[in-house]
Structures are given as C-alpha cells and as structure tokens.
Amino acid sequence: MSINIFDLMELARSRPAAITLGLGDPDLPTPAHIVAAAAEAIESGRTGPTPATGLLELREAIARKLSRDNGVEVDPETEVLVTTGGQEALFLLVQALIEPGDEIIVPDPRYTSYDRAISLAGGKMVLVPTHAENNFALDPDEVEKRITPRTKVLLVISPNNPTAGVNPPEVMQRLAEIATKHDLIVVADEIYEKFVYDDAVHVSIASLPGMRSRTITLNGMSKTYAMTGWRIGYLAAPSSFIRAASGLKEMVNIQAPSVSQWASVAALNGPQECVEEMRRTYDERRKMMMGELDRMGISYGHPYGGLYIWANVSSTGLSASEFSYKLLDEENVLVLPGAGFGQGWDDWIRMTILQPEETLREVAERMSKIVEQRVSRVG
C-alpha cells in the first residue's frame, strides 16, 4: 500500500482530535516582544509600502545578525533581499540562478519544494545520497563525484529537513574547497541554524575564506522566532544576484508584508534569550522521543539539528507509508512517510518535535501499540 503525504494530511485534517507531527511549523508562541512590536507598528500607522527589497531597517538588522552570529559581512543596501518567507526565497533564487539544462546538486532525502522550483526553471537536479551511518551529513567525495561541466549550483541545507543531519565544520570546509575548485555557486539554506544539539555546531559556509562572493544564504523568521505565519524570509548574496532576484520578487508580490517586517526588526534587534529557551525546549523533547524510539527498537539518524526526527520503521515489518497510515487510522497520530522527501526512502518516517512533551509521550505510547503488532505480523 502506498498513500501519499497530501492524502495523509487531508485525512488528518478530517480528524480534529488527531495529534499531528506533520508540518514543520513551531508550536511555541511568537515571543511577546515581537508581537508587541507588530501591534505598535499597526497602531502608529507603519503599514504602508516598503521597498521591494524590504525595509532598510530590516535589511540593516539582517546584516548585523549575519555579522554577529554567522561571521558574514553584507551591505544592507545592496546585498540583502527580504522575502515573503523562506519559501519565496527558495523559489526566487532558483528562478534567478538556473537556466534550462543547468545542474544543481541537492542532498537526498530533501525538502522537495526545491524539486518543484528546479523543475519549473528547467534545471536538472542531481541527487547526492546521505546516509544513516554518518547521521545524514553530506559526504564531500559523493558531491565531487557528481560534478559535470553543467553543474552550476551546490545546495547545502544544514541542519537538514527531513533528516536532522548537520554538516560538521570539516565537511563545510571541504564543500567550500570543492565549490571553489569547480567554480560553483553555493546555496546555503540555514533556516534551522539556531536549533543544534549535543556537540553539533552550525557553520555558515559564506563565512569561510573566499566563499562570500559565491554563496547565497537563505534564512528566515519562521523557525528561529516561531513566526511561520508572519511570512518573512531573506536572501543574502552578492549585489548582482540580489538585483536579479528583487526584480522577480517585485513581479510576484511587490514586497513582504510591512507589519511582519517591523516585527522582524524587533526579533533580530531584540533579546535573543527566547531563541535559546526554544532550543532547550526542543532539545528536551528530542531527547525524550529518542529514548522512546530506542525503547521501541526503532532506529533513527542522530538528530543533531532542526525540528525533526528521521526514523527507520523497517523493524516493524511495515513500509513507512503503511506505518504512517496505520498510526493515523488506528491511533490518530500523523507522521509523514519518507516518500514525501524523495524516492527510495520507503522505510523512513519524518516526525516533528513540535508538540508539548506530554503530547509527545502520548504519541510514543500510541506508536508502541503499532510497533507491538509486529509480533503477530512477522512472528
């Protein structure tokens, strides 16, 4: 049996009591000082249009953040574009970069919105498998093997969705060397950068020697500040690219929403303890869930970063889509089968850690019931 993830999500929507570990939208509230800044922007009438590239105040806040947190220096006047979420950023960047026939190297499994953007631009996606044995970090040798004269772009998503893998510093260093040697543009999707755990560290590839001029960094507010619905993302890159992407952005929706932009200024310029608090909350949930999966005999790539656990359910004797369907049908819990993140991931499910700890405990209990049926299935 194979059920696709859209059908599964539809089914979950028809069951109001279902616990969903489906979409990657933070369940925690947007911090109060950010909400207050939005209210203040509305009350004082700061709701009018902004430049297509975004409020200068926000681009300045982004440039300061990139310098402070990532060691990346950019000119807020010419090297930053504010977008309507990271999703628009990824769409625009692919359309601005990729010509028909260009090849783009993409880690697999993956956030498949990239697939659709690449196919619309007429690009060719070249997949690099990542493996459980090294917790789904990119293998630079595997990347280099796939470079051809048509390769234009290397996509690096770290921490990764769906695998929760994080590329260690030495991998980032090797990827930077490969990109330089083969004259590639690097797209660094850093949307999960603030959520790294254990001894993992986040390295911005644009901060490595010689990389600033060939890197497009994508980031946004959705994950870091629990602001998915506010729809603010951004791109930081050399000015020629930002000019091209801004032209497209203006065609699509003129500018990102003004009030959300003011809220984002407050998010980036304000106190950052709220982010560390969220990270600690996710970390506790993650550890609890890892313990539960260990107890059930379900293996997973060590989740070093992000908001997901990528788990292998083959020990249950079920495929991931059978497992996901059964879990929803019998126990009212939504997780997503691996097929939603690439072909050949039929043993894997993605579950988020975006529910309170007690809800996740309940999920583990319900999941155990499906796992225990294994005895009757496979003897």
Is 337 a binding residue for ligand PLP by CB under 6 A? The answer is no
190 binds ligand PLP (CB under 6 A): no
Asked if 191 is part of the footprint of ligand PLP (rule: CB under 6 A), the reply reads yes
Residue 321 beta carbon to ligand PLP: minimum distance, rounded to whole angstroms: 21
Best CA proximity match to 93, nearest among 179, 219, 254, 205: 219
Query: Is the distance from CB of 317 to CB of 377 less than 8 angstroms?
Result: yes
- If one asks whether residue 267 binds ligand PLP (CB under 6 A), the answer comes out as no
Question: Looking at 52-60, 83-91, 118-126, 277-285, which segment touches ligand PLP (CB under 6 A)?
Answer: 83-91
Alpha helices in the chain (DSSP H): 5-13, 32-43, 56-65, 85-97, 113-120, 140-145, 169-181, 239-253, 258-269, 273-296, 320-331, 357-372, 374-378
Q: Which of 102, 103, 139, 189 binds ligand PLP (CB under 6 A)?
A: 189
Binder among 31, 109, 140, 233 for ligand PLP (CB under 6 A) = 233
Query: Cβ atoms within 10 A of the Cβ of 147, count?
Result: 17
**Is 310 near ligand PLP (CB under 6 A)?**
no
Least distance between ligand PLP and beta carbon 372 (Å): 32
Rounded to a whole number of angstroms, the minimum distance from the CB of residue 42 to ligand PLP is 22
* H helix count then E strand count, the chain: 13, 13
Q: Are the C-beta atoms of 195 and 227 separated by less than 8 Å? A: no
| 303: CB partners within 8 A, 6+ apart | 164, 197, 286, 290, 309, 310
Lay out the site mask for ligand PLP across 5-44 (x = CB under 6 A, - = otherwise): -------------------x--------------------
Per-residue interface string for the shown chain with ligand PLP, residues 85-114, x marking contact by CB under 6 A = xxx--x--------------------x---
Q: Cα(141)–Cα(233) distance, rounded to whole angstroms?
A: 31
Interface positions with ligand PLP (CB under 6 A) = 24, 85-87, 90, 111, 157, 161, 189, 191, 220, 222, 228, 233
